[in-house]
């Protein structure tokens, strides 16, 4: 069995290929690790494979409303915008270095 290697690291800015929302990776599952009900709720014609990395994102929609998303690797691409993602939970997971890069830190419990 092939071991999945995540394409996007923690702190990476990504965009959903289909729906266009943006997010920051804050956790990674090596393969699907959510409920079957969640998986079955995705329309069959766009349902992703389970045998790939899935990413937990601090996301924002087109109206800049924040939420948490769970997205398969096949549905993500690098975000090419310099526009900041202003998610209220960002400081719980990341600090910002002198160059403006996000540095992951374990979330507070």
Domains of the chain by residue range: 13-104
Structure letter (DSSP) for residue 50: S
| Claim: this prediction has a pTM higher than 0.85 | yes
Distance separating alpha carbons of residues 90 and 3, to the nearest angstrom: 29
Contact predicate 25/57, CB 8 Å? yes
What are the residues whose beta carbons fall under 8 Å from the beta carbon of 68, sequence distance 6 or more? 56, 57, 58, 59, 89
* Residue labelled with tokens 């310099």: 82
pLDDT digits (tens, 9 = 90+) for 29-77: 999 999 999 999 998 888 999 999 999 999 999 899 999 999 999 999 9
pLDDT digits (tens, 9 = 90+) for 79-94: 988 788 889 999 999 9
Distance separating alpha carbons of residues 56 and 2, to the nearest angstrom: 22
Please give the CATH number for the structural domain made up of 13-104: 2.30.30.390
């Amino acid at each position: 069995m092939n071991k999945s290697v995540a394409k996007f690291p923690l702190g990476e800015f990504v965009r959903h290929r289909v729906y266009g929302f943006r997010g920051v990776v804050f956790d990674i599952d090596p393969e699907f690790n959510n409920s079957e009900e969640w998986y079955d709720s995705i329309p069959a014609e766009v349902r992703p494979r389970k045998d790939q990395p899935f990413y937990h994102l601090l996301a924002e929609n087109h109206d800049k409303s924040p939420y948490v998303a769970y997205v398969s690797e096949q549905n993500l691409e690098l975000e090419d915008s310099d526009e900041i993602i202003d998610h209220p939970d960002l400081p719980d997971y990341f600090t910002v270095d002198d160059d403006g890069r996000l540095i992951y830190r374990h979330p507070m419990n």
